Amino acid sequence: MHIRRMGGAEVTVVSSESPYFFSRTALMYVFMGHMTLRHTEPYAREMWDEWGITRVQDEAVSLDIHRREVLLGSGSRLSYDNLILATGSRPRRLDVTGENSDGVHTLYFRQDLEQIEATIGRNMKHAVIIGGGLLGAELAEMLRSRGLFVSMIVREKHYWGNVLPPEESKIIETRLSRYGVRLFLEESVISFLEDEGGHVSMVNTSSGLQLPCEMACVAIGVIPETALAAGTDIQVGTGFLVNSHFETTSKGIYAIGDCAERLDPAPGRPATESMWYTGRRMGECVARTICGQRISCDDGVWFNSARFFDLEYSAYGKVSAGGEHSLFWSDDCHERCLRIQRGEGDVVSGIHALGIRLRQEVCERWIGSRMCVNRVVEELQQARFDAEFSEHVFPSVIQSFRHQLAR
């Protein structure tokens, strides 16, 4: 869309998954009946023709970089001047016995949703989710919404332990169990057993736990999809290696989104980011570069948001998973919390909010301008989003933070 907006070249989008672009972040709401798949399409279908963007539903099976052609599964070839690889990710596998049994699923593609529906159609009762992150929590909510008994196996000591400090994890763990999810921490799956029909019947863990089930969902992260690099000079690390203009090592070929691995990530940012917002930003940057306004991408302040059932989570900038060097407040019932990360020079470097909504632009301004933590605390009311719900919360938060700063 950015290329077309800048009056640039003809654009052809090849995707095997779906004829129309949809938002995979909303797949859970399709499953729960809150919206249809069609509702997840951000743009009207007519728009693609109006904008002169050709869509091809097919698989790109290989690249002929000398002839500048993409070879499609149907046997046809598409020629290009510039090629943008935006092949996304695929789910990470456990690589344990029984992982290919019927009823063992992942959630990434819309076809995964169809397969999960088919398994549920077998009138099943017990599901096991492997992985304690955002996707694991989404799956838990999805499956609980259909009345299934849900167990979750998490390798870490506490929920989403590689990202969250223990206090935030505890709040989420309490919320999951309130919604009927049985959580098993510090457990790893060693195998899946299947019945005579080849259908999953049990999950075995490292400590000897045996969880009977008719469905298992593996949600242990994603890896960049880089199969198209085969037979080309495109270098791959974890993803397609790209410079700050998203150029790969092969002339005229770019990579953006989940599949790209930055050679020069911004300080404190990972080289690959499986984030919707990051991908969208990269798309705009690469379009400008291709259309002659060669710019480097402004990575902005890291932002993520999610829900753990009815508990809202948002993260701005970076918060240490250990929780050290931070100001922390939680209410008496441990249902919501706020954390401000103190970076070098006592400037704010990250903010976590659970159960409290903050104004994104305010938080990003504080972090982006490296505002001193003292001042952030004094101006905290500016970040209040839902005034009527958080009216009584902020004075208590500010008082607590002032107290911690004075220590």
Structure tokens belonging to residue 64: 């002929």
Minimum CB–partner distance for residue 259 and ligand FAD (Å): 6
Total site size for ligand FAD, rule CB under 6 A = 27
Amino acid in the structure at residue 329:
W
* Contact status: 71 vs ligand FAD (CB under 6 A): no
Nearer to ligand FAD, 15 or 249 (CB): 15
Q: Which is nearer to ligand FAD, 135 or 154 (CB)?
A: 135
Task: Among 3, 11, 27, 216, indicate the residue that binds ligand FAD (CB under 6 A).
Answer: 27
Residues 193 and 188: their CA atoms lie apart, in Å, by: 15
Span 73-102, contacts to ligand FAD by CB under 6 A = 86-89
From 9-17, 189-197, 315-323, 377-385, give the range in contact with ligand FAD by CB under 6 A.
9-17
Residues 241-300 that bind ligand FAD (CB under 6 A): 257-258, 274-277, 279
Residues 6+ away with beta carbon under 8 Å from 146: 120
Closest CA to 24 of 9, 11, 42: 42
Please tell me whether residue 17 binds ligand FAD under the rule CB under 6 A: yes
Matching residue, tokens 């203009």: 245
Query: Is residue 373 at the binding interface for ligand FAD, with CB under 6 A as the rule?
Result: no
Q: CA-CA distances (angstroms) from residue 258 to 34, 86, 283, 320? A: 27, 7, 11, 23
Smallest distance, ligand FAD to C-beta of residue 23, A:
8
Is residue 254 within 8 Å of 248, Cβ to Cβ? yes
If the CB atoms of residues 88 and 98 are measured against ligand FAD, the closer one turns out to be: 88
Binding marks (x or -) toward ligand FAD, 204..243, rule CB under 6 A?
---------------------x--x---------------
Report yes or no: 119 and 144 within 8 Å, Cβ to Cβ: no
Give the type of residue at 359: R
16 binds ligand FAD (CB under 6 A): yes
Q: In a 10 Å sphere around its CB, with 0-12 CB exposed, 13-18 middle and 19+ buried, how is residue 372 labelled?
A: middle
Q: Determine the residue type at 2.
A: H
Residues between 104 and 123 that touch ligand FAD (CB under 6 A): 107-108
DSSP single-letter state for residue 314: E
| 355 binds ligand FAD per the rule CB under 6 A | no
Site for ligand FAD in 129-168 (CB under 6 A): 135, 138
Q: Which residue has the tokens 């005034």?
A: 387
Per DSSP, the three-state class of 375 is: helix
Question: Closest CB to ligand FAD among 202 and 228?
Answer: 228
Map 35-59 to HEC letters. Answer: CCCHHHCCCCHHHHHHCCEEEECCC
* CA dist., res. 299 & res. 305, Å (int): 17
Minimum separation from the CB atom of position 26 to ligand FAD (A): 8
CB of 125 to ligand FAD, least distance (A): 23
The binding site for ligand FAD (CB under 6 A) comprises 14-17, 24-25, 27, 59-60, 86-89, 107-108, 135, 138, 225, 228, 257-258, 274-277, 279, 306
